[in-house]
Structure 1
Amino acid sequence: MATRDLMRFNNERLFPTVFNDFFKPWNEWFDSDLMKTMTVPSVNVIENDKHYKLTMAAPGLKKDDFKIDIDGDIITISAETKVEKEEKDEKFSRKEYSYKTFSRSFTLPEIVNAEKIDAVYENGELKLMLPKKAEVKKTTAKNIAVH
């Protein structure tokens, strides 16, 4: 299995510039300051012989903010935070709050042992270890003679 099995397909390269120009006003709106609070953390995926290691940059969260679910061969990592701040003085009262949420889903390759997936959050990074199943011996190709 290649590392790309865990990554989403990026179809930006498939659409010609005409489509990019057509959607430019929408892209500018989504890139505006209003949308800056709606971020999706970056993810790195590394593969070796024994496991996949998925690292997600998510500073400022607590481990209890995360929810990781597996449904069939789909793993979904999500987080939700709510912050409320209230200040009162004789002359003014102010209450601010923020709400941030994200969700990322990945298709697990068949070789991943979903029962043994482990997650750790430290130093602003969520790290998931996705161990591979023990390989089943593959039969070698052979030619069978017809008698």
Structure 2
Amino acid sequence: MATNLKSLAKDTAIYGVSSIFGRFLNYLLVPLYTATLSAASGGYGVITNLYAWTALLLVILTYGMETTFFRFANKADEDAEKVYSTTLVSVGATALMFVAAVVGFLPSISSALGYADHQSWVVSMAIIVALDAFQAIPFAYLRYKKQPIKFAGLKLAF
């Protein structure tokens, strides 16, 4: 029992530190953003607004498949590899459709967000959100396989 608790504490610390460190690096970029983004283009407020949309869209695009993966991968009668591939294909297909929809309706979406003159920002956001949603499943797989060091290294890299 003590060994399990010790392992849980260690893994939790590794997962938590990698997440906190990644956010801290983002915080360190704030002076760069504020210095390089002109007030005429919206300044740092643009980045903040896009981050808000990113957070919302990421929740929608993953639609709870990380939790679903863990639920079914931990069942004795389910093949974890098949569950992994099914969830990965599902989220990947949804992410591709999302990017296609954003590109297809780009002028309308950009105007609605107030970035009609900066459509490339909207496309960049869509691609980043799609990639983040897609990589959520491989990261869940690493957690399932109890590989916190690999998880932390890749999480910081991507």
Same fold (TM over 0.5): no
More strand per residue: 1
Identify the structure with bigger relative contact order (alpha carbons < 8 Å, sequence gap 6+).
Answer: 2
Q: What TM-score results when the alignment is normalised by the length of structure 1?
A: 0.28
Q: What TM-score results when the alignment is normalised by the length of structure 2?
A: 0.27
More helix per residue: 2
